[in-house]
Amino acid sequence: MGDSLAPLAHPAFRWLLAGRVTTIAGNAMAPIALAFAVLDLTSSITSLGLVVAARSLTNVVFLLYGGVVADRLPRQLVLAGSCAVSFASQAVVAALVLTGTASVPWLVVLSAVNGMSSAFSLPASAALVPQTVPAEQRLQANALLRLGLNSARIGGAALGGLLIAFTGPGWGLAVDALSFALAGVFFAFVRVPAARVPAAHKPSVLAELKVGWTEFVARQWVWVVVVAFTFVNAVLVGGVMVLGPVLADRTFGREMWGLVLAAQTAGMVAGAFVVMRVEVRRQLLLGVACVAGFALLPLVMVLHPEPWLLLVTSFVSGLGLEQFGVAWETALQHHVPPDRLARVYSYDMLGSFVAIPLAQLAIGPVTHAFGTSAALLGCAAIYLLATAGMLASRSVRSLENAPAAEPVR
C-alpha cells in the first residue's frame, strides 16, 4: 500500500485533493436537492429537465474557452475563481428555496451561472493533477483522487437524501454552497511549476483552440471514446438521473434513491482500491469493457425495482465506472503534452457533455410519449451499443498503460 499512497507525500497534491473532495461532498447533495426542489414546485419532469439543462448548456458553451484559460493561467487560480462564482450562485439558490421564493425561471438562470463556472474548473482541475506528482505516480494519484472524490460522494449523497427527506432540499443546496467557499481556500494553497513557458507573443484564443483540436483528433483512441461518451453521458445524466427521482417518488422513496446513488459511489471506491492494487497493462481496454455494466441499473429499475437489487446493481456499475475513469485520466496525462492538456480535456468534456442538455430537454416529452419503462430500456440499450463501438477500435484495444515518449495516435 506504500506505493499506492506515495502521491500524498506531495503538498500540492494534498491541497488539490482536499479542495476537490470538499466540493464533491457538497455537490453530491445538489442534484438530489435540486431535483426535488423543482418537483416540489411544479411536479413537472419537463420543468426539471429545463433547470438541469440550463446548467449543462452553459457548461458546454464555455468549456472550450475554459480549457484555453486553464492552459494560459495558473490552474489553481482558475479553480479558486470558479469556486467563488459557484459559491455565490448556489448560495442564492439555497436562499430562494429555503425562503419559499424560488421559481423555475430563477432556478434556470442560477443553474446556468453555475454551469458556466464549472466549465472553467473542470479542465483546470483535471489538467492540474500531473503537475502535482511525478509521472510514475500518475496512476496512483488518479486512483487516490477518485477514491477521495467517491468517498465524498457516498457521504454527500447519503446525507443529502436524509437531509432532504427530513428538512427539505434547501439545506442540501446551502451545504453545497459552503463547500465551494472552503474549497476555494484549499485551491489557493496549491503550489506547482508552470505548465508552459510564457511566450513573448500570446496567440489568439482561436489559434490556441486549433492547437488543442489538432492534439485531440491526432489520437484515434481519444475521439472514439469521446464520441461514445457523448451517448453514455446523455442517457446517464439526461435519462437515468432525471427519471430516477421520478421513479423514486412513485415507488421506492426519496431516501432510497439517495442510497442507490451512494451505493454506486461505494462501488467506485472499491474500484479505486482495485486499480491501485492490480496492475493491468491495457487499462483503457478493461475500463471500456466495464462501461457495459452501466446498463444494469436502468434494467433493474424497469424489471425488478427491489431496493436490495437496486443497491447491488448500482454498486457493480460504480465498480466498472471507476476502472474506466482512472484509465482514461491516466491515458490522457501520459500521452498528451502538459501545456496542451487542459485544451484536450476541454474537447473531451465538450464532446462528452454536448448531448446532455438535449437529453435533459427531451426526456420529459419522450417519457410522456413512450412511458418511463421504455425510456429506461432505451438508456440501457445505448450503454451497450456505445461499449461495442469503443471495443471495435484497435487503437482503444491496444493502448498500453505507460508514459509515451512519442504521442500515441
DSSP 1-30: -TGGGGGGGSHHHHHHHHHHHHHHHHHTTH
For residues 212 and 353, give the distance between their C-alpha atoms in angstroms, rounded to a whole number. Answer: 17
What pLDDT does 407 receive? 47
Q: Domain count of the chain?
A: 1
Residue 407 lies in a domain: no
For residues 171 and 261, give the distance between their C-alpha atoms in angstroms, rounded to a whole number. Answer: 19
Distance (Å) of CA 357 to CA 55, 67, 135, 235, 250: 8, 20, 36, 11, 25
For residues 51 and 47, give the distance between their C-alpha atoms in angstroms, rounded to a whole number. Answer: 6
Cα end-to-end distance, the chain, whole Å: 33
Residue 292 lies in a domain: yes
Residue 405 lies in a domain: no
Of 318, 180, 183, 171, the closest CA to residue 240 belongs to 318
For residues 65 and 33, give the distance between their C-alpha atoms in angstroms, rounded to a whole number. Answer: 29
Residue 293 lies in a domain: yes
Of 286, 251, 250, the closest CA to residue 391 belongs to 286
Residue 404 lies in a domain: no
Residues 280, 274, 277: CA angle, nearest 5 degrees: 70
Residues 357, 266, 51: CA angle, nearest 5 degrees: 20
HSE value, Cβ hemisphere, 13 Å, CA-based, for 299:
13
Helix (H, G, I), strand (E, B) or coil at 317: helix
Cβ(98)–Cβ(366) below 8 Å: no
Burial state string for 34-57 with b = 16 or more CB within 10 A and e = fewer than 16: bbbbbbebeeebbbbbbbbbbbbb
Query: Cell for 403?
Result: 508514459
Distance (Å) of CA 172 to CA 27, 53, 123, 351: 9, 20, 26, 30
Q: Please report where in the chains the cell 451517448 appears, as a residue.
A: 231
Domain containing 265 — which CATH number?
Answer: 1.20.1250.20
> What phi, psi does 309 have (nearest 5°)?
-75, -35
Query: Cell for 288?
Result: 471500456
DSSP annotation of 204 reads P
Of 124, 116, 120, the closest CA to residue 55 belongs to 116
Residue 408 lies in a domain: no
Q: Which residue stretches of 218-282 are H helix?
A: 220-235, 241-250, 254-277
Residue 112 lies in a domain: yes
| 10-residue mean pLDDT series, the chain (409 residues) | 78 93 82 81 79 82 86 89 92 90 88 88 87 86 86 77 80 86 93 63 80 88 93 84 81 80 83 82 90 90 87 91 90 87 88 80 84 88 94 90 56
Residue 403 lies in a domain: no
Distance (Å) of CA 279 to CA 131, 173, 204: 23, 39, 42
Our CA dihedral for 236, 372, 312, 179, rounded to 10 degrees, sits at: 50
Range of the domain at 246: 3-195+203-398
For residues 210 and 98, give the distance between their C-alpha atoms in angstroms, rounded to a whole number. Answer: 45
Count the helix, strand and coil residues of the chain and give each as a percent rounded to the nearest 5. Answer: 85, 0, 15
Residues 218, 348, 379: CA angle, nearest 5 degrees: 120
What pLDDT does 155 receive? 77
DSSP annotation of 239 reads I
For residues 272 and 325, give the distance between their C-alpha atoms in angstroms, rounded to a whole number. Answer: 9
